[in-house]
Every structure is written in C-alpha cells, then in structure tokens.
Amino acid sequence: MEIKSAEFIMSNSDVMKCPKNLLPEYAFIGRSNVGKSSLINMLTNRKSLAKTSGRPGKTQLINHFLINKNWYLVDLPGYGYARVSKSAKKTFQKFITQYFSLREQLVSAFVLVDIRHDAQPIDLEFMQWLGENGIPFSIIFTKADKLKPNAITRHVENYKTKLLETWEDMPNYFVTSSSKSIGKDDVLDYIDSVNNNFKI
C-alpha cells in the first residue's frame, strides 16, 4: 500500500464523538515512550503527523487520522510511565477501555513494544485484556535499529516464549524501526489485506 494522503481529523476523549462513518480503524497503542509517534510518522511518510516528544505521555486523547480517504489510523494515549496526575491517568485509561469496548469500526489494534526490553507485565496484561475481550491485535516491535540481527531474533523468541505461557499461539507481529523504515511495507501491506476483506 502506498499512502497518498494522511489528514488529521479530530482529537477527543469521548468515544461517542469519534467519526460516525464506518471506515475501518487501526488503533496504535503502547507504553509511553515506545516510539509510537515516530512509527506513525514513518508509516504515513509525514514528518510530524503525530507529535513526537522526549517527554512520555504526550498523547492524552484519541487522535483520528484519515488515510487515503478510506481508513483511519487511531493514535491512542500511552499507558505506563506517563508523567501525569493519577486522576488524569484514570480518566484516559477509562476512555481507552471504552474505545476498545464500544468502537465497532475497530478492525485491529497494534500494541507497540520496545524490542530491546524483556516482556513487561503491563504490556502482557494489556494483551491479555484484548484477548479476553475478543479484540484482534498485532504486536509491533519498535526500535529494531538499536539491535544487531541476531539479537533481534533472540528478543523476539524470548518474547514468544513468554507469551506462549498463557497464549495458544503467538499473535501476529512485526519488527520495525522508524529511523530506518524497517517493517513499513509489512505493516501497510497487512492493513491493506485486512481492508480488502473488511465488512462491519
């Protein structure tokens, strides 16, 4: 898939105010500072479609971007180490849950994890919650440029071993690097193939 257009549509914290049309949506989510904004900018070929920041917790709203006029890329708040108040954290954890529970247009989530680290309990818990709620998702390993190829393979295998303690199969996954554009075509081709079979 080639991305010819990417436009910001809206930001909000109320799932009921999300776009009303029935275009397929793909939600990107991960721990704060996992490289989500950089990945979105790399996928869409835009330098600043999503705001990147050295400060974790920059995204605090549901952000909808219309891609090629026929699907939405949804940028969701990071979970984990965001430097926000407990009440703010509780508020956006609530609307993340509501988004996943209520959004019929959601086709798949992409859960971003930093490939350099061991499986984190917060990521595993979130994937478990998605699985228990019947929400399809893929894992996107980020920052692959920081490791040598053998280390990438080892980290993915370790992650797989950990997940298979509780899952029957390893979820669909992609290895990416925003700075080197690694994995871009794989992710976009996957979205394209799902879109071709999309029925709400």
Domain of residue 116, residue span = 6-196
Instruction: Dihedral sign for Cα 9, 13, 17, 18, please.
Output: positive
In a domain, 136, yes or no: yes
In a domain, 135, yes or no: yes
What's the whole-number mean pLDDT along residues 70-77? 94
Work out how many domains the chain is built from and give that number: 1
Report residue 109: phi and psi, to 5°.
Answer: -100, 150
In a domain, 1, yes or no: no
Q: At 62, which CATH number? A: 3.40.50.300
In a domain, 18, yes or no: yes
Beta bridge partner(s), residue 175: 141
In a domain, 112, yes or no: yes
In a domain, 38, yes or no: yes
Instruction: Please give the single-letter amino acid code of residue 137.
Output: F
pLDDT digits (tens, 9 = 90+) for 130-154: 999 999 999 999 999 999 999 999 9
pLDDT digits (tens, 9 = 90+) for 36-66: 999 999 999 998 888 754 444 445 788 999 9
pTM of the model: 0.90
